[in-house]
Amino acid sequence: MPYKDKEYGLRRHREYMRKMYKNPLYMKKQRERVRAFKRRLKQEHALVLHEFRGYGCALCPEKEPCCLSAHHVDPNKKEFNVTLAYTWCINVERLRGELKKCVCLCENCHRKVHAGRVSLPRGLLAAG
């Protein structure tokens, strides 16, 4: 039940958490929970990115997953960098939403697009 005095409630919670973090058993369990969460998140992100990279580069025949990256079609709609999704612990649904705004390109084509040497076909612009 929340406290009527919000400041008092925050102070109590801070004191409680300080005490908990000094407890070695709590910290051991907490570390295990965080590791399990990160492991599960990494697996889920890997599956989503595998689906995204499944068809290969949109501009050339490259299909090797280690060479592929996500290119935001409209940089103004970009919420976050897809490569940082795991680091920032972004949930899978938000990652999927961000990937819908992207086109899969190999690193070479990605750099060429940003350099202005190659442009994306109109069909890809509408899809992203």
| pLDDT tens digit sequence for 55-70 | 899 999 999 999 999 9
Buried b (16+ CB within 10 A) or exposed e, 44-83: ebeebbeebbeebbbbeebeeeebbbbbbbeeeeeeeebe
Q: Domain limits at 66?
A: 6-127
Q: How many structural domains comprise the chain?
A: 1
1 within a domain of the structure (yes/no):
no
* pLDDT of 7 above 80: yes
Greater model confidence, 71 or 128: 71
73 within a domain of the structure (yes/no):
yes
**All residues at 6 or more sequence positions from 100 whose CB lies less than 8 Å from its CB, including other chains:** 128
Average pLDDT over residues 3-28: 92
10 within a domain of the structure (yes/no):
yes
* pLDDT of 105 above 90: yes
**All residues at 6 or more sequence positions from 49 whose CB lies less than 8 Å from its CB, including other chains:** 82, 99
pLDDT at 8: 93
**Helices 6-22 and 24-53: crossing angle, nearest 10°?**
100
Strands in the chain per DSSP E = 68-72, 102-106
